[in-house]
Amino acid sequence: MLLRAAYGGGVYVPTQFALTDAETDAALAAGGFAHLVTPVAGGVVATPLPLLFDAASRSLVGHVARNNDHWRVAPVGESLAILPGPDAYVSPSFYASKAEHGRVVPTWNYDVLHVHGTLAVHDDVEWLRSLVTRLTDRFESGRAAPWAVTDAPAAFVDGQLRAIVGVSLSVTRVEGKAKMSQNRSAADRRGVADGLARSPWATDREVAERVRSTL
């Protein structure tokens, strides 16, 4: 089990929206697209990038462009990786309680994971080759004809590796939050699930299933 966050200026997580230890660990292990934020002298730097969880080193690993100053600047504290999940606007019209008393307002449902840790830089071509191979294998998995790093010419791959720098976030604490209408009645949650399920947007329908799972 990974270290869960005690309160220390982190994300606000009401009890009903908190992930269990198992849910937090699973979300971290899944990795995915993230926003890496690092405090530096005079402010912060932030980079969107895909990250993988490396269980052996208990780190999130990824890479940035060599021209991106994120890897060059010196952190003045822990970095934060924000891994967002599905999100959706929730209309008050979805709630059964709207017809009962009308005391309802709009809100937003969402999943998010905040991962705190110490940032390190890896400017080693073989470390990077291993990383991009793992990233590719992870996100190509399940495709009918998955692409592999070795499908590209070796000289081309070598040139691409010289254009990036690796980063790793050694995890110190994790905060997970899943706001999926758990604070509403079962009737209201059914209304949210039904309303979002009719949406043309895939993320809304994904949230609908998440809400339905709380019933």
Report which of 83, 169, 163 is spatially closest to residue 121, judged by C-alpha positions: 169
- Identify the H or E element spanning 79: strand 79-90
Q: How far apart are CA 62 and CA 128, in angstroms?
A: 9
Domains of the chain: total:
1
- The owner of tokens 């940035």 is 64
Q: Is residue 194 part of a domain?
A: no
Q: With 50 as the cut, is the pLDDT of residue 6 above it?
A: no
Residue 210 forms part of a structural domain: no
pLDDT tens digits, one per residue of 95-142: 999 999 999 999 999 999 999 999 999 999 999 999 999 999 999 999
Within 8 A by CB and 6+ apart from 6, the residues are 173
pLDDT digits (tens, 9 = 90+) for 45-55: 999 999 999 99
Please provide the average confidence, as pLDDT, over all residues in the chain.
Answer: 94
Lowest-confidence region among 3-12, 74-83, 195-204: 3-12
What is the C-alpha to C-alpha distance for residues 13 and 76, in angstroms, rounded to an integer?
A: 26
Residue 205 domain-assigned (yes or no) = no
In-domain check, residue 99: no
Identify the band that residue 7 occupies on the pLDDT scale cut at 50, 70 and 90.
very low
CATH number of the domain that 77 lies in?
2.30.110.10
How far, in whole angstroms, is CA 121 from its chain's centroid?
A: 21
Q: Read off the tokens for 189.
A: 């949650």
**What integer pLDDT is reported at residue 10 of this predicted model?**
74
Contacts of 20 (CB under 8 A, 6+ apart): none
Q: Residue 165 sits in which domain range? A: 15-86+109-182
pLDDT confidence of residue 4: 47
Give pTM, 2 decimals: 0.91
Residue 104: inside a domain, yes or no?
A: no
| pLDDT category of residue 9 using cuts at 50, 70 and 90 | low
Bridge partners for 36 per DSSP: 47, 81
CB atoms near residue 67 (< 10 Å): 10
DSSP letters, 119-176, are EEEE--HHHHHHHHHHHHHHHHTT-SS---GGGS-HHHHHHHHHTEEEEEEEEEEEEE
Any domain includes 206:
no
- Note whether residue 54 is domain-resident: yes
Q: How confident is the model at residue 11 (pLDDT cuts 50, 70, 90)?
A: confident
**Length reported for the chain:** 215
